[in-house]
Amino acid sequence: MNPYVLHFDEIDSTRLPDVGGKGASLGEMSRAGFPVPRGFCITTCAYKEFIAAGTEMDGLLDMLGRLQPDQLDEISRLGRRIWDHLQSLAIPETVKSAIIVSWQKSGENREYAVRSSATAEDLPTASFAGQQETYLNVQGADQLLQAVRKCWASLFTDRAIVYRVRNGFDHRAVFLSVVVQRMVFPAVSGIMFTADPVTGNRRVVSIDASFGLGEALVSGIVSADLYQVKADKLIKKQIARKEVAVYARPEGSTDKVDLIEEMQTAPSLSDQQAIRLARMGRSIEEHFGSPQDIEWCLADGEIFILQSRPVTTLYPVPPAAGDHIHLFLSFGHVQMMTEAIKPLGISVLRTLIPLGKSMPPGESDLLVEAGSRLYSDVVTRLLEYQQLRKRLPELLLNVDEMFSRAVREFMEREEFQTAARPGKRIKFSLIRKAFPTALAILKNILYSENDQAIDMMNRFIAEKVDENRKLLLEVSGPARITRIREILQTILTVAVAKVAQYLPAALLTYKLIENLSRRWLGDTAEMGGISKSPPGNVTTEMGLALGDVADAVRSHPAVIEYLEHASDESFFENLKAVPSGEEVLPVFLRFFERYGMRGTGEIDVTRPRWREVPTQLVPAILGHIKGVRPGQHRLDFLAGKKEAELAAGRLLERLRKKPLGFIKGRIMRRLIKVHRSIIGIREHPKYFIVQNFDLIKQAILQEGADLAAAGVLEQPEDVFWLSLQEIKEVLETRRLDRDLINRRKEKFQRDEKLTPPRAITSEGEIITAKPAAHVPPGALAGSPVSAGKAEGRARVILKLAEAKMEKGDILVAPYTDPAWTPLFPLAAGLVTEVGGLMTHGAVVAREYGIPAVVGLDNATRKIRDGQIIRVDGTRGFVEILK
């Protein structure tokens, strides 16, 4: 077998290192019987021989390896040097001879397409599409060798270099093969995706087609006809105006040709041809086992496949049981944490859910992993109940308006209507079980005194956390993992049972105050004031406590300077050596003793806690010192409490002037009292869960340290890449496949780059329902969750540790969880990409009385840091002013 040339019938997927992704794909399809034009690949061995002939490449590649993707001028200059160098090299005689022999064997009087095929190209994780070059209608030995040399050099175009740098590919580790394939002179050509590239629907084949060679489509000089096929039915046909086409020239290369008027609006494919193409696309997808991006052409009525690569931009489809369509909603969007979660974090959360388990200590099937995030199709199950179909979208408004709109849209679809069962009925036994809780909620709204509810919850949390700490200290090894699973099994049940009679009452009274205000007074003018500074919210108390830390630090310049350069590893120890450090240290220690188990993305047990990375809080402390006067945070909280009392008084006074005002006033006074006395309990369940997660993380890391000491793990944190069951098995057997850890790390790195959708169907379709708000031209629509307007400088913050805010800035973030609360005293307004009426950011914004708009898709991309913006939290939109 020639080391420099392989014909298609000699190639399969195992030859990828020799012929690159494109070449391996063509060989696979050719051997499988798909209509691929004949050809051969010039191997990476030939490429290596070619570049080895030059003496400068080692030095040039060293310089290239030091460049960053934003150094575009340097990349361009160095890329041109490499290009010129390679164009000046002679192709080694052994390589040239092998190419010519294969070309003659394939047909020296034929025309050829010459394409590059990189070893890092057309892979399941990175397509590299369009990074190297293609030369069409190549004729004769001289044109062929010239095209081959240009393909080799195209590995060093600006776009190819930048793509490799951004995706972490070593320039020395990417090699190039060249595909030489017989030209087909088509009447029509195009691109076919076996999954809709816009919506992600895996059952829809999307075909772009135009007259002549596909170069017109790939280069973007012509609009394409669009055909979409689903289940052998043409569901969409969109005919474009096609003014030009690319055709082969008799002497070689190609020409752009103006089409006659009749052809410009003529369909490039018949309906049956589109369906036939889609069937072949499905066969190719089935062969490769993943959605494909396929280049095809039609000549004399016959289909030819020119290449196929995996589609790498689709979000993974969550696994679903059964054939009927499912709707999955993102758990991360509910929990205000849309970043990728490591396997242990996934396992802990699935174990936490008490329902949907085959065995009590196991993992719930109500949550499934996709793209290192969690999704649930519990909505699909709830929609089987006729009584819930109308109510569910309304309830979801409290979580995320876009969830609600996605569910409404899903229910209107033909697929759901067809698959929907006649409708389950809620069992009376379930109603009977829920009746005592419903009665308790009603009692709390109507007449119970709720003043002790928050104190009761605080005592319960302290006692239960202490109990669980002792339980985890009693055992070790596999028994400790069993104990962890048992504790997780009960945490959510216990927390929900404790707040079940209070939190729904707090949420219901808020909605009742709003609805009755609108009905009786015609407006909700006082709602913004009524929610300010309620007592007992543990997250608000945390923000106030951090303000106390800032006040303790502000009069000590040496401590401030230390904080600006502090490191996590020696944060507290080195603080002692700083002038006045001993004085402020107790204040820090008190804060971290109570809140050190919190952190950004805290629902992922593997994420760092503030105790482990105390410098995460430094920007918030310094921002507070700079933007807030001493003690002002406490005064603002008291002022908010006073404003709430005044707002309630104004509301009641207005009601008294209405017919039956005395009765309406008494009803409203009761609702306000209930709401304000217990809404603070909203954050307690998560506070309880996070404290237990902290205990669990410490226990698991202790086991990881023992495994690392025994040489089973490289480091204790490697346990983060295993599930709870897998950790238990490793502790029992003292054996581990370390390649499993590496594979999961690689997958996680890929998944981190994905943007998780809010709602995705089991067909892979991402549902992106638009917000309901009617907005002014040019404004960005979201969901209004905290009334009022604010203008100010947008401060776009992606990570809390990098937060730099000043008083009066408008916080623009992907989400906010409790860890972000210290920034709220500085913010004049809030904009987030996820959230709903009762999610963390919305509740805290109302408590601080700042306007907020949530659920604004891609807010951190559409709004640039430093822009002057206006937030309308009453109507739900953001305007960019300057």
Q: Which residues are catalytic?
A: 840
End-to-end CA distance of the chain: 66
- For CA atoms 390, 391, 397, 399, give the dihedral sign: negative
Is-contact 383 325, C-beta < 8 A?
A: no
Instruction: Enter the tokens of residue 515.
Output: 């609805």
- By the 10 Å C-beta count (0-12 exposed, 13-18 middle, 19+ buried), 252 is classed as middle
Closest CA to 215 of 249, 267, 255, 182: 255
- Provide CB contacts within 8 A for 727, sequence distance 6+: 344, 481, 700, 703, 719
Is-contact 151 47, C-beta < 8 A?
A: no
530 sits in the region (left: phi over 0; alpha: psi -120 to 50; else beta) called alpha
Is-contact 604 345, C-beta < 8 A?
A: yes
Is-contact 329 757, C-beta < 8 A?
A: no
Q: Show the CA angle centred on residue 842, arms to residues 839 and 843, nearest 5°.
A: 80
Read off φ and ψ for residue 208, nearest 5 degrees: -105, 135
The DSSP string of 44-109 is HHHHHHHHHT-SSHHHHHHHHHT--TT-HHHHHHHHHHHHHHHHHSPPPHHHHHHHHHHHHHHHTT
* CA atoms of 203 and 765, how far apart (whole Å): 9
Q: Where are the alpha helices (DSSP H) in 683-793?
A: 684-709, 724-733, 738-752
Q: What number of other Cβ atoms are within 10 A of residue 814's Cβ? A: 18
Write a three-state SS string for 582-620. Answer: HHHHHHHHHHHHHHCCCCCCCCCCCCCCCCCCHHHHHHH
- Provide CB contacts within 8 A for 764, sequence distance 6+: 195, 200, 201, 202, 203, 314, 315, 317
User: Residues 512-524, buried b or exposed e (16+ Cβ, 10 A)?
Assistant: bbbebbeebbeeb
- Provide CB contacts within 8 A for 719, sequence distance 6+: 344, 700, 701, 703, 704, 707, 713, 727
Is-contact 308 331, C-beta < 8 A?
A: no
Instruction: Enter the tokens of residue 132.
Output: 């190297």
Residue 766 DSSP symbol: B
